[in-house]
Amino acid sequence: MRLTALFALMAVVSLAACSPAGINGAQSDSFATAQAPLASGYPLSSQPKMQAMAHWDRLAATVAGNCAKALDHFHPDGELRVYVAPAQATPFGKSYREALLTRLVDYGVPVSFTPNGAAVLEVGVETVTHRRTLARTRSGRLLIADPDFVQAKDDKGRYPKVPMVSEESGLFDPDTPQTEIQVTSALVHNGGYLYRDSSIFYVDGRDMAHYKLGAPSGDVELKRYSLVNK
């Protein structure tokens, strides 16, 4: 009887020693593991949303100003002209090019009508629509592992529990747009970059026709069809 109890006690001790450290458990000598990296959030930040031509002009002003600085640095003699290459034939592409021409002139940059011998300012636009799955809670917050946590032993040779932080879930998430664009503006000369900018913005999904060729404008009615064998 005593021998059976001893074996049972040894089994319990063995299981306890082999069990991993739980995220919310006490300190343990075991290394906490997971089958995949834990999903963590990012520090709360903001991203601009484009929804007016004034926003396009504001980006053009920033890019033109930085192009002027790059030309002053690499070609201080002021003799190098800039040719703004045609962009996509979308409302944004055409309007953004016109805004770039105007803003370059505002900054005193010599603008060329042809690319011959000039630095070329090229514009590219990439669009993406996410299918976001955002976790929601009634309280508006959920607990996640601290993104900056790196598991290591403390001064006593033990692994501390994984610290948890609060993530916003409800106050800001519902207003997060699902559609984004990346506008890349590059000033190229003699096979190299004089200046390059990649800016990312939110846009309304119903405005995709402003940025992408062939995209439908406004609300799109979806129809579902099914094939039936008779």
| Model pLDDT, residue 171 | 75
Q: How far apart are the C-alpha atoms of 7 and 195, rounded to whole Å? A: 73
Reference 208, options 129, 124, 133, 100; nearest CA is: 129
Q: How far is the C-alpha of 227 from the C-alpha of 7, rounded, in Å? A: 65
- Please check the confidence at residue 223 and state whether its pLDDT lies above 60: no
Tell whether the model's pLDDT for residue 83 goes beyond 80.
Answer: yes
Model confidence at 5, pLDDT cuts 50, 70, 90, reads: very low
Q: What 8-state DSSP symbol labels residue 111?
A: B
Q: What percent of the chain has pLDDT over 90?
A: 51
Q: 59, 96 in Cβ contact below 8 A?
A: yes
H helix runs in the chain, sequence order: 2-18, 53-74, 91-106
Q: How confident is the model at residue 202 (pLDDT cuts 50, 70, 90)?
A: very high
The dihedral formed by the CA atoms of 69, 71, 76 and 79, expressed in degrees to the nearest 10: -140
Backbone angles phi, psi at 162, to 5 degrees: -70, 120
Distance CA 117, CA 133 (A): 50
Place of tokens 């100003």: 65
Do the beta carbons of residue 134 and residue 173 sit within 8 Å?
A: yes
Of 228 and 153, which is predicted with more confidence?
A: 153
Q: How many residues does the chain have?
A: 230
Q: In this predicted model, which residue has the larger pLDDT, 215 or 107?
A: 107
**Count of C-beta atoms within a 10 Å radius of residue 145:** 18
- pTM of the predicted protein model: 0.74
